[in-house]
């Protein structure tokens, strides 16, 4: 059995370029609203990607850092301020 087209049904309509939409009328703007859950998941995803891209530390580097932190003369206002600045820079703040 042969079924013919019913009317001018064509997936690509003449006069239209595929992939382009018509401009909005009357100054309308497209908007997207994200739920709080979606925003939270996006933040978690960004943190996970930041952790994955961070360089790995060796055991020797970790031990050296622990020694510095445990040394009372190492933790002063200058060191704490510089560390806070580096943390803020890492998060783009």
**pLDDT range class, residue 4, cuts 50, 70, 90:** low
Kindly state the DSSP code that residue 72 receives in the 8-state scheme: T
User: Contact at 8 Å (CB) between 50 and 44?
Assistant: no
Kindly report the pTM of this predicted structure: 0.35
Model confidence pLDDT, tens digit, residues 31-45? 889 999 999 999 999
Of 24-28, 36-40, 56-60, 77-81, the least confident: 24-28
Cα separation of 44 and 39, whole Å? 9
- Residue 57: Cβ within 10 Å count: 11
């Amino acid at each position: 059995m042969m079924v013919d087209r019913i009317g001018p049904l064509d997936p690509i309509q003449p006069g239209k370029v595929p992939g382009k939409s018509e401009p909005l009328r009357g100054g309308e703007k497209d908007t997207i609203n994200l739920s709080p859950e979606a925003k939270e998941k996006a933040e978690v995803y960004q943190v996970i990607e930041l952790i994955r891209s961070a360089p790995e530390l060796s055991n020797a580097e970790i031990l050296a850092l622990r020694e510095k932190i445990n040394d009372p003369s190492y933790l002063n206002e200058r060191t704490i301020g510089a560390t806070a600045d580096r943390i803020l820079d890492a998060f783009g703040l």
